[in-house]
Each structure stands twice: as C-alpha cells, then as structure tokens.
Amino acid sequence: MSGKVANGALPNGSGEHEGAEDMDLMDDGQTIHELFDGKIGLTYNDFNILPGYIDFAVHSVDLTTHLTRRIKLKAPLVSSPMDTVTESEMAIAMALHGGIGIIHSNFATVQDQVNEVQKVKRYKQGFISRPQCIKPTDTIRDLMRIKAQFGFTGTPVTDTGNVGGKLLGLVTSRDVDFISEKRWGDLIKDVMVPIEKLITAEEGTTLSHAYETLEKEKKGKLPIVNKKGELTSLIARTDLKKARDFPHSSYDEVGQLRVGAAISTRETSREAVRALVAVGVDVIVIDSSQGASLYQIELLKWIKSEFKESPQIIAGNVVTVAQAKMLIDAGADGIRVGMGSGSICITQEIMAVGRAQGTAVYQVSKYARSRGVPVIADGGIRDVGYITKALSLGASCVMMGGLLAGTTEAPGEYFWGPSGVRLKKYRGMGSLDAMEAHTSSNDRYFQNESDAIKVAQGVTATMRDRGSIHKYVPYLVRGIQHGFQDIGVKDLFTLHANVLNGSVKFERRSPNAQLEGGVHSLHSYDKRLF
Ligand SMILES: NC(=O)C1=CN([C@@H]2O[C@H](COP(=O)(O)OP(=O)(O)OC[C@H]3O[C@@H](n4cnc5c(N)ncnc54)[C@H](O)[C@@H]3O)[C@@H](O)[C@H]2O)C=CC1
Ligand SMILES: O=c1[nH]c(=O)c2[nH+]cn([C@@H]3O[C@H](COP(=O)(O)O)[C@@H](O)[C@H]3O)c2[nH]1
Ligand SMILES: [K+]
C-alpha cells in the first residue's frame, strides 16, 4: 500500500484529474520518530494510531509477549504491586488469563507476603482454598448471615472457625432451611452433619476423582482434609460443573501459575528475597519511584550474584535512557517505566520530577530494545485503548493499578458510596494511609530522625465496582485484539517492527481533537463496555 498514486485515481468521477500531481501515500501521518521529535512530553491522550489494512479475524491476533528477558506471557497485562490491587486472589486470576500479578510488599511481615506467593503457587483449579467456615459454637443466625452475605449453601465447621482448623462437620441449607427463626439461636453443632457421617477426601486427591465422589454420593460439597484431619480446602460441585479451560494461563516449568513479588530497596529486602526465592517466586520487582539509586543498583547486583538462575528481576521505575542504562548495566531483566503518571500519583506535583508517560515509554523502550530488555509501561492506563497505545510505543507489557482496583479479586471489601454506587478503596503506595499501615513500611520512610517528616506521594481514593477479573481481563484482551486488527498487525512483534520501520503511522491530536475523540454533544448517555 505504499508508493505514489495519481490524485485522479480517486473515485471523484469528475474527470478533472488530468495532469493532477502524484501524491505520496507515505506522506500521510507521522512516524513514531516524527511524533516524538518535538521537545515536548506527550502522553497516550496526545496521539492516535492511524488505521492500516485488515485481512485477518480479530481472534487470530496473538498477544504473546515478553515480561522479562526469560519470561513470556500470552497476554501483556500485569497487576500493580499495591496493597489495594494485588494479593493472591488477583495474582491467580491474572495468571489464569495469561498475564501476571505482582504481590505487594506492604505486609506486617515478610512471611505474610511469602504466604500470598505460596497460595498462587499451590493454586489448583476447582479447589476453594479459603472456604468460609463456621465454629460449632456459633449459631444458626451466624450461618444465615454468611449465607446472605456470600450466598453459600454448604459451610464447613472447624474448631477454629477457619480453614486450617480441625474439621468437625458440615452444615448445609438443607439442615437449617426449615428451622423457624425462633430457633436461630441454636448452636451449629446441634444441626450440622458431624464428621463421622461426612464424605471427605484426602489432600492430593485429583479433581476428576473428587467429581466422581460427589456424583456418586449426590453431595454438593467435598471437604479436603490433611492427615491431621484439618480442613485444607473445599470442592463445590457447582464449581466443577462450570470449571473452565484457561488456554492462555501463565505457567512455570512445573505447571504452577507464575507470580511476582515486590521488594523495597531497604537492607531488609535481602531477607525477603531469600524467602521469596525459596517458595519459587518467578519474578521480583524492585519497587521505587526513582530507580536510579545506589540502593537499587547494589541490591540488584547482589540478587544477580546470589541467585544466578531464577528469579527474573524487574528494576525501576525509570523514565529516562540514562536511568535505564544504569539498571540494565546492573543486570535488570525487565525495566518498569513511569514516574508520576499513575492515577493516584502526585509525585510530579510534589517532587516536581517525572515525565509524560508516552515520551517515557517511547524513549526508554527504544534504548532497552537495543539491549534486549523488555519494558513494562506502568501507570496511566485509563482504558483498553491506552494499553494498545503503550504497546505501540515499544512497551512489551503494561502494569495497571486503578483499572483493576475495583474488581472482585482486588483486596478489600466493597462498600456503598453516597450516591448508591458500589465502591472499593484504592490508594497510592506513597500515600500517608499506606505508609502508616505497617511498621515495615513505616521504617522505609521514617527510619531515622531526618526521615521523620512525611511527604506523601499518593492519594487515597475509591474505585467503582468493575466486576470480576474473569470477565474484565478477557474484555481487555479482546479490546487490544480489536485495536491490533484496526492497525493491521497480527501480533506484538509485527506491531513493534512496523512502528519502527514507519509503516504504522501516528498522529498528534489537538485539544479539540481529543474532545472530538471522546463522547460529546449528548444530553445524557449510558456507557456500557462489555
Ligand atoms: N511510579 C511512580 O510514579 C511512583 C510510585 N510510587 C510507589 O510508592 C512506593 C514508595 O516509593 P518510593 O517513595 O519511591 O520508595 P523508595 O523506597 O524508593 O524511597 C523512599 C525513600 O527511602 C530512601 N531509601 C530507599 N532505600 C534506602 C536504603 N537502602 N537506605 C537508605 N535510604 C533508602 C529513598 O532515597 C527515598 O528517600 C512504591 O511502591 C512506589 O512504586 C511512589 C511515587 C511515584
Ligand atoms: O506517585 C505515586 N504515588 C503513589 O503513592 C503510588 N503508588 C503507586 N504508584 C504508581 O502508580 C501505578 C498505578 O497507576 P494507575 O492507577 O494509573 O494504573 C503503580 O503501578 C505505581 O507505579 C504511585 N505513584
Ligand atoms: K498522576
């Protein structure tokens, strides 16, 4: 589609084309280098990608990418190491859909973070690893409350009221449905099916065996116990029936889901690294807003010399080529780009330091590619089109906080906002709220007298309910595939190559063009996305 055409070849039917000048098709739009050659920082909203030619179906677009030098993913999506975004539930869901989650480090102890990594590594589809339990001395009223809140129909009874406690019985709807409200003060132990009469399975049982048992016994729930009789998980027949295939899941060499974990640049991180490596963490993210520091470089070199093979290390954050060079020289396997672009970030306002995210991703990716190191574009992803734009600028993956914070799998409970909207809390890791959460994060900030004055770099916010990752991430993936189809590229490798050789074109958009590109001129509208 390149080359020259005569103006008159356009179907204007007027016959006035005689002698018309040849027009250079390649002159239309800007190459990426032209887009960024002005000395002004651009971000995703400042440009469009121009359409190409479609000769393939949307589902055939392949989003396989590199997270780090050695780790490949089928979807270029990473969840942020933030305490309102990624713990095990989020990481499991992200990995099942081909991305990866990075467990945050704002726990009371390193062991708490290690436990979250282990939950991902031990995850097996169909097994509910944190079933809601009840104590024998609780009442029917307590059970009704659980039922109303979570909708469960079968609840295991353990001595502690938690998973891990000794299994004493199971109480189902059938056991309590016909008990009148007057008797709701009765104790669970008097209505439950006691352990002697319960069908259970031993740890290590396979899903297919569990399914056969449930079918044969006509039961809905199968508690899984260890040798000591402690409840380790629960299998629900309804879950097994709807057990899905996740053809793109991110698995490690031994078939466990992949997961990452964040660490700070403090001395104590060496202990964390040892513990995380011991439970098989795939990737460690050194978490800092300004990655070009002596602390980070020394830590990075230490990890690389101590653990030659695994794990992979993502260093950052950076926004300039000089910063990226220091971290790549020190051994980084991936580079995280973004300073102040996040939805909850106030770094550019407070520190006066940072960079427009589009320019940062373009500049750092151009350099990192020459060193064979993938870039993760972190922060400022407001919607699915922003992901496609970040990838077009050279990123191999995007990292998202806010976009995922309102989902079911994000830590924290939903609550109702003043206008009747269902919300979840979302906060910056540099917000006072997050800094004050644990002593470990406190000492990061207030380790000596000179650090006693707090300077917040983030805010505390709320996010609208976005439903489950199991619906949202497939929507994101399909949205990116549609973007690629419009651009006319079938995979990420081709996108990067065609952007660099100038066949994928861009265009800077004026403030008015930005308004035009959004929803406008309507009395009211309803924005349903999927
Ligand atoms: N991507 C972004 O734009 C931003 C992200 N954040 C997030 O907030 C959290 C905190 O970020 P930062 O404040 O950059 O954390 P940081 O731990 O890198 O820096 C906090 C302070 O501690 C100092 N420090 C770090 N390691 C040290 C060591 N070993 N010895 C002595 N002093 C040391 C630093 O120089 C700095 O003054 C992170 O989760 C980060 O991702 C915060 C601001 C911006
Ligand atoms: O200036 C900041 N102050 C903070 O307190 C803070 N906490 C997180 N982050 C960074 O923001 C990213 C998530 O951004 P989004 O919500 O836009 O996806 C994350 O992935 C981080 O890079 C912070 N930046
Ligand atoms: K910001």
Q: Using one digit for the tens of pLDDT, what is the confidence trace for 114-128?
A: 999 999 998 877 778
User: Which residue has the CA at smallest separation from atom 33 of ligand 1?
Assistant: 266
pLDDT of residue 447: 52
Protein residue whose Cα sits closest to atom 31 of ligand 1 = 266
| pLDDT at 204 (0 to 100) | 83
528 among known catalytic residues: no
Q: Whose CA is nearest to atom 24 of ligand 2?
A: 345
The predicted model scores a pTM of 0.83
Confidence of residue 304 (pLDDT cuts 50, 70, 90): very high
- CA R_g for the chain: 27
Question: Atom 37 (ligand 1): residue with closest C-alpha?
Answer: 445
Is the CB of residue 457 below 6 angstroms from any atom belonging to ligand 2?
Answer: yes
| Sign of the four-CA dihedral 305, 306, 312, 316 | negative
Across-strand partners of 422? 416
> Annotated binding residue at 380?
yes
**Which string of b and e fits 249-269 if b means at least 16 CB within 10 Å?**
bbeeeeebbbbbbbbbbbeeb
Question: What are the two backbone dihedrals, phi and then psi, of residue 263, each rounded to the nearest 5 degrees?
Answer: -135, 160
Q: Is 397 a catalytic residue?
A: no
Task: Using alpha carbons, list the distances in angstroms from residue 105 to 129, 211, 258, 430.
Answer: 22, 37, 17, 13
Mean pLDDT of the chain: 90
Q: Give the helix, strand, coil percentages of the chain, each rounded to 5.
A: 35, 20, 45
Please tell me which residue in 345, 355, 397, 466 is annotated as part of the active site: 345
Q: What pLDDT does residue 149 have?
A: 73
Ligand 2 pocket member 285 (CB < 6 A): no
Before 311, cis peptide (omega within 30)? yes
In the three-class reduction of DSSP (H, G, I as helix; E, B as strand; rest coil), residue 302 is classed as: helix
Task: Name which residue leads in pLDDT, 254 or 491.
Answer: 491
Candidate list 258, 336, 444, 466, residue with the active-site label: 444
Q: How far is the C-alpha of 286 from the C-alpha of 365, rounded, in Å?
A: 19
pLDDT at site 439 = 52
Dump pLDDT digits (tens) for 331-383: 999 999 999 999 999 999 999 999 999 999 999 999 999 999 999 999 999 99
Tell me the average pLDDT across 398-404.
Answer: 98
- The pLDDT assigned to 39 comes to 86
Q: Is 337 in the pocket of ligand 2 (CB under 6 A)?
A: no
Q: How far lies 349's CA from each of 77, 87, 344, 528, in Å?
A: 28, 29, 12, 33
In order of their start, the domains of the chain are: 65-124+247-516 (3.20.20.70), 127-242 (3.10.580.10)
For residue 359, the model assigns a pLDDT of 98
Residue 241 confidence (pLDDT): 65
C-beta of 345 in contact with ligand 2 (< 6 A)? yes
Ligand nearest to the CA of 428: 2
Peptide bond into 317 cis (omega under 30): yes
User: pLDDT digit string (tens) for 226-258?
Assistant: 999 999 989 888 766 655 678 899 999 888 999
| CA 109 – CA 97 distance, rounded (Å) | 29
| Cβ(369)–Cβ(334) below 8 Å | no
494: Cα within 13 Å, side-chain hemisphere: 11
Contact 334, 69 (CB under 8 A): yes
Q: Is it the case that residue 441 has pLDDT exceeding 80?
A: no
pLDDT average, residue stretch 52-72: 98
- Which ligand number lies closest to the CA of residue 266? 1
Confidence check: pLDDT of 420 > 70: yes
Cβ–Cβ < 8 Å for 387, 65: no
Q: Which helix (H) or strand (E) holds 154?
A: strand 154-158
Cβ-count burial 152-187 (b if 16+ within 10 Å, e if not) = bebbbbbbebebebebbbbbbeebbeeeeeeeeeee
For the CA of 341, the closest atom of ligand 2 is 17
Q: Which ligand is nearest to the CA of 379?
A: 2
Q: Which atom of ligand 2 lies closest to the CA of 347?
A: 1
For 513, the token pair is: 């063009």
Range 18-36 average pLDDT: 79
Q: Which of 362, 301, 381, 296 is nearest to 85 (CA)?
A: 381
CB atoms inside a 10 Å sphere around CB 25: 12
Give the tens place of pLDDT for each residue, 148-199.
Answer: 777 667 899 999 999 999 999 999 888 888 888 899 999 999 999 999 999 9
Query: Does 229 belong to an annotated binding site?
Result: no
**pLDDT, position 180:** 87
Q: Which of 104, 273, 288 to mutate to test the pocket of ligand 1 (most atoms within 8 A of CB)?
A: 288
Residue 203 is given by DSSP the state T
Beta strand segments in 18-99, E: 22-24, 47-49, 65-66, 72-73, 77-79
Tell me the C-alpha distance between 65 and 468, whole Å. 24
ipTM for the whole predicted complex goes beyond 0.90:
yes
In the prediction, which pLDDT does 240 show?
Answer: 67
The answer to whether the CB of 500 falls within 8 A of the CB of 31 is no
